Chains A and B, each alone.
Chain A
Amino acid sequence: MTARAGTAEEPLRVAVVGAGPAGYYAADHLFRQQTAVVAVDLFDRLPTPFGLVRAGVAPDHQKIKSVTAAFDKVAAHPRFRFYGGVEFGRDVPVEDLRRHYHQILYSTGAQTDRRMGIPGEDLRGSHAATEFVAWYNGHPDYRDRQFDLSQERAAVVGVGNVAIDVARILCRSPEELATTDIADYALDALRKSRVKEVYLLGRRGPAQAAFTNPEIKELGELADADVSALPAEVELDELSRAALERSPDRATQKKVEILREYARRAPTGRSKRLILRFLVSPVELRGGDAGEVVAMRLVQNTLQATATGALQARPTERFEELPVGLVFRSVGYRGVPLPGVPFNDSWGVILNERGRVLDPETRQPRVGEYTAGWIKRGPTGVIGTNKPDAAETVACMLEDLGQGRLLHPDEPDPAAAERLVRARQPGYFSYADWLRLDALEVARGRLAGRPRVKFASVEEMRAALER
């Protein structure tokens, strides 16, 4: 019977776990190919789709979110279904999926952050940047987090795009934020914020910083914050200069020019200051009497070349103390193991080869299990990077289909899978539910002159749908 999977009579049934960009791009590739008839059921732990496009991309970066229009087109396919609010493992374990699908694809992203591994990291006032991001974006799991915005000085550790987002949101004026889709409670809290100085700390030099030029230029155009940098820290060291001469790169040259210009800027009296620091690493957070962060001890770094010519930070003997009451770490992300799915602890991803999940003992592919996105390759690239990534995985899926390497589900009937979901999670959210929520959010936003006003808890969403 499964020999015919992929035909109109018996479509190839694929379960995708995780409704972020990688999951949608995988579904898109599966629907676009011509060799097999495919049906996709997309599961997500949250009632709403889009993963980090909804819960990660900064509220003042609306244009980046326009990619969801392409995702809605994928969802309009007649053989696409969405099961929101249904958690893999808890509601539907892998054994259940094996009974209903020929192939399972995991695209759950990198859900936890790397720690700095320094003393004082868990003091009150020290947070993972991702928690702050999820909070201001209205992620239902994070809406009750507290951040002490009565502090005047904050440090953001890292210079990747998450670090930049956090620093920028802290520096935005309430007027700027009020036109975005930031969560209402976060807007209220940020209105009362007393944060005046924000330090962005890079462990390597300006030429190695991960941020892009549009991101760094945006920091120089904030309505209510002066940006600055230390002249000595934005001059290139010998090694960086030599590397840039060996392989000239316009974007890096431009980045350094922008930072040099920031270092020359005189303060204009805006109410906040954003200070970009390079070649420094936190070595300790110092606590006050009540167990709260009061300062950060930094070591200054120099750069050294590895055997491949890459430049690494190396600590010197020079230290400094930075008084800060709020710390956000953004030094990397890791995937979280899924119940019953092999994990590669070295890289924090599902154990896989080009998207095929591997058995940890034999290192051979596990039949019918695949992965895409950050949980496959680690947290790198932009949203669009997930498209070629998902294409690679889908190519493996189709090759395996051709070879008959598939699961043999006992109940491939789509109605049977829906009965299972209904039994385990009667209050699940369909795509039609999401489209209604989306329309309601946008309508609420229109009244307030904002792109949307988000529902930020599952209860609010149910109430809005009158369920």
Chain B
Amino acid sequence: MNIASILASKGREVVTIGPRQTVRQALRVLVAHNIGALVVVGEADRPVGIVSERDIVREAARNERVFTRTVAAIMTKDVILGQPQDDLSSVGHTMTERRIRHLPVMDGGRLVGIVSIGDVVKAQRDRYQGEVETLQTQLLDDRA
């Protein structure tokens, strides 16, 4: 199983924001879409970072004027980018080890989606459940 199988039933387009927009604007977008992170895109829609709830909380803890700061100032810059064909087992391992919660996915230079660690865990759970289900069906048949 790979990243494409997660994106297939995510449907919606990736929600992005520009680096020069403010934290207040970012918060509005997060709330409007009920999500936890935005991909920050620069020129030609290239991802230049990710801004998450966590980034905003961290800034708010030390800065009263958090709302007027730019996204660029608080975002996480060294983003790891995935590809649709990346295996879920590798992706899950890398996200867990490096404590990455959101992975933007690029296909031929185009931003095509974002997967969260929750998506990866759910896909792996469904995969194991499916295998157990199939094995059980066959075992029960044996006893019949």
Question: Which residues of A are at the interface with B, using a C-beta cutoff of 8 A?
Answer: 63-64, 66-67, 69-70, 208, 243, 246-247, 249, 306-312, 344, 346-349, 351-356, 358, 363, 376-378, 380-389
Contact = CB atoms under 8 A, between A and B. Distances in A.
A311 B137 contact: no
B83 A64 contact: no
Nearest to B110: A346
A383 B133 CA distance: 8
B134 A352 contact: no
Interface string B109-143: 00010000000000001110111111111100110
Which 7 pairs from chain A and chain B are nearest by CB?
Answer: A385-B130, A384-B133, A353-B11, A384-B134, A66-B141, A310-B86, A310-B90
B48 interface: no
Interface stretch (B1-9, B19-27, B65-73): B1-9
A376 B6 CA distance: 10
A353 B12 contact: yes
B18 interface: no
Interface of B: 1-2, 4-5, 7-13, 80-83, 85-87, 89-91, 93-95, 103, 107, 112, 125-127, 129-138, 141-142, 144
Contact of B134 (A69, A356, A358, A382): A382
Given A243-B90, A377-B8, 14 more contacts: A63-B138, A63-B141, A308-B91, A309-B90, A353-B10, A376-B8, A378-B4, A380-B127, A382-B134, A384-B131, A384-B135, A385-B126, A385-B127, A387-B129
A308 B138 contact: no
B119 to A, nearest CB: 11
B103 A308 contact: yes
Contacts of A377: 5, 8-9
Nearest to A383: B134
5 contacts: A66-B141, A308-B82, A309-B90, A310-B83, A381-B126
A309 B88 CA distance: 10
B130 A310 contact: no
B130 A382 contact: yes
B103 to A, nearest CB: 7
Contact of A347 (B7, B137, B144): B7
Could you tell me the dominant secondary structure of chain B's interface residues?
helix
B4 A308 contact: no
A246 B5 contact: no
B11 A351 contact: yes
A246 B7 contact: no
Contact of B87 (A208, A307, A358, A381): A208
A459 B128 CA distance: 41
Nearest to A312: B85
B126 A389 contact: yes
A166 B71 CA distance: 54
B11 A358 contact: yes
Given A247-B93, A311-B90, A384-B133, A69 B141 contact: yes
A442 to B, nearest CB: 15
B132 to A, nearest CB: 7
A347 B8 contact: yes
A330 to B, nearest CB: 16
Contacts of B133: 383-385, 387-388
Contact of B13 (A63, A354, A363): A363
A351 B12 CA distance: 9
Given A247-B93, A307-B80, A309-B93, A388 B130 contact: yes
